[in-house]
């Protein structure tokens, strides 16, 4: 395969949660091994994501996952931390792509051509694959963190601002993996009071 055919898709998971890292994945699909069913990970069931993740691992020419940790999110802000995770994912690919397709409207600084595509996870198979990989890996990490911090229920809500999660923060206070720069945790740290609201759809999926 010619180098000019190597196109990587990049997407992230975990920009919205109150806890845990933001995770980015980069995937270079093999045109000779198409994968049926690729789609935006948020539109797939957990079972379907796991099935597709297994196929991506077997069929892709290359795939990687990288993260930005909680302290980096708090230090740089979530946008910059997300772009940093994307840079790390692309840099770790065993094949250097000639073009990188990024989900969204912003591209990280990369040594090769990059193009941002709004709703790319629904339009470009490589981005869809990256969306699935990032989501599956981040969910697995949150399940592991649930064993370390069982009182917060991370295995169920993956760190998103569900009523259950907010109630646990109010009861136990934030943990070391909670994002101190995110509202309402920043307000809680300043005032000792946590405002519990019913989250929007965007606050509980992604």
Q: Which domain covers residue 157, as residue numbers?
A: 151-203
pLDDT at position 204 over 90? no
Q: 93-148 pLDDT, tens per residue?
A: 999 999 999 999 999 999 999 999 999 999 999 999 999 999 999 999 999 999 99
**pLDDT in the model for residue 20:** 98
Contacting residues for 74 by C-beta, under 8 A, at least 6 apart: 179, 180, 181
Domain identity same for 43 and 9 = yes
**pLDDT in the model for residue 193:** 80
Q: 68-101 pLDDT, tens per residue?
A: 999 999 999 999 999 999 999 999 999 999 999 9
Domain identity same for 139 and 158 = no
The total of structural domains in the chain comes to 2
Asked if 136 and 50 count as a contact pair (C-beta separation under 8 A), the reply is yes
Domain identity same for 100 and 178 = no
Q: What is the pTM of this model?
A: 0.91
């Amino acid at each position: 395969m010619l180098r000019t055919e190597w196109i990587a898709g990049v997407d992230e998971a975990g920009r919205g949660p109150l806890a845990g890292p933001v995770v980015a994945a980069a995937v270079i699909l093999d045109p000779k091994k198409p994968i049926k069913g690729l789609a935006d990970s948020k539109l797939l069931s957990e079972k379907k994501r796991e099935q597709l993740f297994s196929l991506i691992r077997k069929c892709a020419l290359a795939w990687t996952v990288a993260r930005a940790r909680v302290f980096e999110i708090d230090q740089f802000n979530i946008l910059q931390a997300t772009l940093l995770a994307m840079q790390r994912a692309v840099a770790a690919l065993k094949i250097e792509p000639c073009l990188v397709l990024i989900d969204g409207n912003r591209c990280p600084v990369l040594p090769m051509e990059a193009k941002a595509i709004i709703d790319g996870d629904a339009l470009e198979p490589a981005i869809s694959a990256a969306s699935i990989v990032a989501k599956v890996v981040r969910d697995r990490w949150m399940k592991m963190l649930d064993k370390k911090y069982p009182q917060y229920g991370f295995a169920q809500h993956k760190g998103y601002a569900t009523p259950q999660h907010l109630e646990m923060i109010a009861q136990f206070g934030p943990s070391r993996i909670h994002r101190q720069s995110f509202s309402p945790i920043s307000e809680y740290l300043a005032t000792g009071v946590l405002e519990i609201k019913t989250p929007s759809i965007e606050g509980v999926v992604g």
